[in-house]
């Protein structure tokens, strides 16, 4: 992949993540048990970036997504909460992927990311509210995070399988054209 192709791929993933974030923000979450909770659909793109790009490039995708989604449909507090959640989630997912190797699936990495995203957001909420009692909300958010992490992981795995298949066919076609 040339540098230009890599930059275009980063821009495509980031733009998809921004659009998904904005669409998800427009959809109300149906469970009154967890006000403010979202499914984290844009994390499908983060996981795709994590498995197709370098760690540094994945950070770029996340940074662009959080910045643009906050500017286009959020506030400064949205930026703080999303940034803290995404940073902690990203660190956890990278560690799980590297340490776990083949023993931890994309679904497991996704679940870790979802739960740590909630932890990051609750840490910011605790600092803003100046109390740690906000962390009592963690078990509820963790259950939702686990379920959503499983769903996002399954979807990301499905998408990555098809992206890899497209690359295989593209490489095969290039090989056939070169052979003549």
Query: Which pLDDT score, from 0 to 100, does residue 34 have?
Result: 61
Query: Which pLDDT score, from 0 to 100, does residue 179 have?
Result: 42
Q: What is the mean pLDDT of the chain?
A: 86
Residue 34 DSSP class? S
Q: In this structure, what CATH number is given to the domain that contains residue 41?
A: 1.10.1760.20
φ/ψ region of 101 (left if φ > 0, alpha if ψ in -120 to 50, else beta) reads left
Q: Which of 5-9, 51-55, 112-116, 172-176 has the lowest mean pLDDT?
A: 172-176
Q: Which domain holds residue 23?
A: 3-179
pLDDT in tens, 32-84: 556 666 788 999 999 999 999 999 999 999 999 999 999 998 788 889 999 99
How far apart, in whole angstroms, are the C-alpha atoms of residue 60 and residue 83?
Answer: 13
- Residue 178 confidence (pLDDT) above 50: no
Give the total number of structural domains in the chain.
Answer: 1
Query: Can you state the angle between helices 43-52 and 106-129, rounded to 10 degrees?
Result: 130
pLDDT in tens, 111-145: 999 999 999 999 999 999 999 999 998 998 999 99
Who contacts 119 (Cβ-Cβ below 8 Å, separation ≥6)?
Answer: 85, 88, 138
Q: Alpha-carbon torsion 115, 36, 55, 105, what sign? A: positive
Residue 146's pLDDT band (cuts 50, 70, 90): very high
How far apart, in whole angstroms, are the C-alpha atoms of residue 16 and residue 29?
Answer: 21
Query: Which pLDDT score, from 0 to 100, does residue 38 have?
Result: 77
């Amino acid at each position: 992949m040339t540098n230009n192709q890599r930059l275009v791929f980063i821009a495509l993933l980031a733009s998809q993540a921004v659009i998904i974030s904005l669409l998800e923000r427009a959809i109300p979450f149906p469970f009154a048990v967890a006000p403010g909770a979202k499914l984290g659909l844009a994390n499908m793109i983060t996981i795709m970036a994590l498995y197709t790009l370098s760690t540094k490039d994945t950070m770029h995708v996340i940074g662009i997504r959080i910045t643009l989604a906050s500017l286009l449909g959020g506030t400064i507090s949205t930026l703080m909460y999303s940034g803290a959640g995404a940073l902690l989630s990203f660190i956890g997912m990278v560690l799980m992927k590297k340490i776990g190797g083949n023993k931890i699936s994309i679904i497991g990495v996704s679940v870790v990311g979802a739960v740590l995203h909630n932890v990051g957001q609750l840490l910011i909420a605790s600092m803003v509210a100046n109390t740690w009692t906000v962390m009592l909300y963690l078990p509820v958010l963790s259950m939702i995070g686990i379920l959503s992490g499983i769903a996002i992981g399954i979807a990301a795995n499905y998408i990555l399988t098809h992206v890899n298949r497209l690359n295989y066919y593209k490489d095969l076609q290039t090989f056939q054209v070169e052979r003549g």
